[in-house]
Amino acid sequence: MGTLAAAIPATTTASRHAGGRRHRRRGSVAVRCSSAADERQALFSRIAPVYDHVHDVLSLGQHRTWKRICVSWSMAKRGDRVLDLCCGSGDLAFLLSQKVGLDGQQLQTAASRQDQRWKACYKNIKWIEGDALDLPFTDRYFDAVTVGYGLRNVVDRPKAMREILRVLKPGSRASVLDFNKSSSFFTASLQSWAIDNVVVPLASSYGLTEEYKYLKSSISQYLTGEELEKLAKEAGFSSAKHYELGGGLMGNLVATR
Ligand SMILES: C/C(=C\Cc1cc(O)c2ccccc2c1O)CCC[C@H](C)CCC[C@H](C)CCCC(C)C
Ligand SMILES: C[S@@+](CC[C@H](N)C(=O)[O-])C[C@H]1O[C@@H](n2cnc3c(N)ncnc32)[C@H](O)[C@@H]1O
């Protein structure tokens, strides 16, 4: 089990409040997880309190750019029904929420809050407990799905891709952002050096040495861009293309059903 968030241009009717990270409001359903990947979930729970801050420092804020690109390439648009899989603290879910927006006059309210962290459109987010390997949604339900740094962390990637395909409407896109397992010796060496000499030492100052050492091993066990394209096609997507970001340190797969 883990973190899902669906942004649907309708008021949230969530049934259970466990509180999203930044918007603890009545009606937002949080997320709890208990599953075969409990240890991995526990790892992310330990990181959660410093997650956004560590990323801003380590990536010099670039992770926000990469996430905006991921959401943009999902082609989510106003009025769509979209899903952010493995949503964690909800960075991509909030971006998607702004893309799909609210109907009519509410839009003005959202616009007037443009400079505030909270936006009226966030009312369209449903925070859902769920498993990316067994999504609680009917077939052909979403106009777009994003996955930010999640596919690498699920225990069955082919099954996750098949589930994403199942819940997508025909012609719609999945946009999957993650670290890039580069085929370039130089890029792979730079990424490995940065993790060993920047990421892990800084994470250690937060008591997260082992958690961020897992990060390095998870990247080494991840798929290259070409393998991700193959994974998507084998799952049934009609097309799939992987694009490198951040000088090849990150990558984004765009797959169309
Ligand atoms: C948002 C990012 C990573 C999320 C993340 C994903 C995981 O699977 C983890 C697993 C275990 C522990 C932690 C994570 C985790 O944090 C990407 C941005 C944050 C990165 C940690 C920063 C990486 C920095 C680059 C290697 C170098 C950037 C150079 C330049 C400033 C762009
Ligand atoms: C590195 S975090 C990414 C969070 C967020 N998407 C982001 O871009 O920052 C990975 C997230 O995947 C979630 N996760 C891992 N396996 C999952 C699964 N099988 N189902 C749902 N969520 C899962 C974890 O709980 C964690 O919140």
Ligand 2 atom showing the smallest separation from residue 90 Cα? 5
pTM of the model: 0.87
Dist. CA 87 → ligand 2 center (Å): 6
Ligand 2, atom 21: closest residue by C-alpha: 2
> Which of 44, 54, 63 maximizes ligand 1 atoms within 8 Å of its Cβ, making it the mutation to test the pocket?
63
Orientation angle between helical segments 157-167 and 225-235, nearest 10 degrees: 50
* Ligand 1, atom 24: closest residue by C-alpha: 59
Rounded-to-integer distance, Cα 21 and Cα 65, Å: 20
How far is Cα 72 from Cα 54, in angstroms, rounded to an integer?
A: 24
Q: Measured on CA atoms in the order 130, 177, 123, 166, is the torsion positive or negative?
A: negative
Q: What is the pLDDT of residue 9?
A: 54
The protein residue whose alpha carbon is closest to atom 5 in ligand 1 is 149
The rounded Å distance from CA 155 to ligand 1 centre is 19
The residue whose C-alpha atom lies closest to atom 28 belonging to ligand 1 is 59
Burial of 51 (0-12, 13-18, 19+ CB in 10 A): middle
**CA 2 to ligand 2 center in whole angstroms:** 6
Per-residue model confidence as pLDDT tens for the chain (257 residues) = 567 777 665 322 222 222 333 333 332 222 334 454 678 888 888 888 888 889 999 999 999 999 999 999 999 999 999 999 999 889 999 999 999 988 533 334 434 444 456 787 788 888 888 899 999 999 999 999 999 999 999 999 999 999 999 999 999 999 999 999 999 999 999 999 999 999 999 999 999 999 999 999 999 999 999 999 999 999 999 999 999 999 999 999 999 99
Q: Which atom of ligand 2 is nearest to the CA of 160?
A: 19
pLDDT at site 111:
44
Measured torsion, CA atoms of residues 151, 146, 86, 238, in degrees rounded to the nearest 10: -40
**ipTM of the predicted structure?**
0.96
Structure confidence at residue 123 (pLDDT): 83
Ligand 2 centroid to 245 CA: how many Å? Answer: 20
